[in-house]
Amino acid sequence: MKLLRYGIQGNERPALLDSNGVIRDLSEHLGDIDGAAISPENLARLSSLDAETLPNVPEDVRIGPCIANVGKFICIGLNYSDHAAESGMAVPEEPVLFFKATSSICGPNDNVEIPKGSSATDWEVELGVVIGLHAKYIDEKDALDHVAGYCVVNDVSERDFQLHRSGQWVKGKSADTFGPIGPWLVTRDEVPEPQNLAMYLDVNGKRFQDGSTKTMVFGIAKVVAYVSQFMSLQPGDIISTGTPPGVGMGQKPDPMYLRPGDGIELGIEGLGVQRQSVVAA
C-alpha cells in the first residue's frame, strides 16, 4: 500500500493511493496515519479494503507528511562512501547517528525555508525507514520485521550551522521545513529490494544527485538493528539512512547552496517524488 495524509497543515486526513493513482480517503476507517495505525494488524486490515469503494480526494489537494506524531527522527551520517569523500570525511567504522528535530517535518511539496543567518543551506535525498514494531536489542536478521515501510526524505542541512557553530550536527539539521517526508509511506511488502532503489535530486532542473541505495556503507537491516542497541525504537519513528554524492557542499570548484527562488525535485524508485520551492524564512 501507499499511505498518505492530505489537507491543510495541522489538520491532515488519512488516505491511500489506489492502483490507478487516485487518492482515496480513509477517514471512515482510521483516525490518522501514525505509529498505532501502522502495526502489522492494522496494515493487514487496511490492505483488505476495496480501495475503489473509498471516497475520492481532489487531485490538487495538499499532501502532508506521510506519518503523524513522529517520536524520533534519527539520521545516519556519511553512509555512502563517495558522499563521505566529497565531504572530506573518512568512512565511519560504525554508523554515525544524529537527530533532526521533529518540528522540522513538513509535507513533501511544502516550501523549504532558508533560516535566518544561513549561508549554506544544502540538499540531501535519502531513503526513510518507518518503524512499525517496537525494537530493542534486536538482531540484524530480524530487523526488517520491525519496519512498516519506506518514504522519501529530503535531509535539508545548513552546513555552516552543522559544521562550524560548535556542538553536534543537530543545529544544522533541525530548522523548520528541513524534513520533508513522503509523499507516500510505501509498505514493506511493496519494496522487496530496498537495497537496490535508484534515487535522484535536481535543483532548478539540473541533476546533482544520481545514486542508488545499493551503495550504502551500512544497509537498512544493519542500521535498524544497530540503532536498537542504543535506544528503543517505537512505531512511527523514522530513520533517514544517508545520502549519495552530489550535495551542494561537494560541488567543485566551489560549493553551491540553495537560495530563495530555487526549485528542488527529488525522488526514489517506487516511493514517489517531492517538489519544493525555496523561500526565505
pLDDT tens for the chain, 281 residues long, are 999 999 999 999 999 999 999 999 999 999 999 999 999 999 999 999 999 999 999 989 999 999 999 999 999 998 987 777 777 778 889 999 999 999 999 999 999 999 999 999 999 999 999 999 999 999 999 999 999 999 999 999 999 999 888 878 999 999 999 999 999 999 999 999 999 999 999 999 999 999 999 999 999 999 999 999 999 999 999 999 999 999 999 999 999 999 999 999 999 999 999 999 999 99
Instruction: Write down the pLDDT at residue 118.
Output: 96
CB 243 within 8 A of CB 209: yes
CB 99 within 8 A of CB 75: yes
One-letter amino acid for residue 111 of the chain = N
Start-end of H helices in 136-193: 159-164
What residues contact 80, with CB distance under 8 A and at least 6 apart? 211, 215, 216, 217, 242, 243, 244, 245
Q: Is 64-280 a domain of CATH 3.40.1380.10?
A: no
Instruction: Write down the pLDDT at residue 226.
Output: 98
Measuring CA to CA, which residue among 10, 6, 8, 9 is closest to residue 30?
A: 6
CB 147 within 8 A of CB 76: no
CB 19 within 8 A of CB 26: no
What residues contact 229, with CB distance under 8 A and at least 6 apart? 137
Measuring CA to CA, which residue among 267, 153, 279 is closest to residue 210?
A: 267
Reduced to 3 states (helix: H, G, I; strand: E, B; else coil), residue 126 is strand
160: which 3 cell numbers? 555552516
Instruction: Write down the pLDDT at residue 85.
Output: 77
Eight-class DSSP state of 270: T
User: Phi and psi (nearest 5°) for 211?
Assistant: -140, -165
Reduced to 3 states (helix: H, G, I; strand: E, B; else coil), residue 122 is strand
pTM attached to this predicted model: 0.96
Q: Compute the C-alpha angle 244/245/251, nearest 5°.
A: 155
What residues contact 176, with CB distance under 8 A and at least 6 apart? 103, 104, 106, 113, 115, 281
65: which 3 cell numbers? 507528511
One-letter amino acid for residue 48 of the chain = S
Measuring CA to CA, which residue among 43, 67, 124 is closest to residue 238?
A: 67
Beta bridge partners of 219: none
Intra-chain end-to-end CA distance of the chain, in Å:
35
Residue entry with cell 507528511: 65
Q: How far apart are CA 195 and CA 127, in angstroms?
A: 10
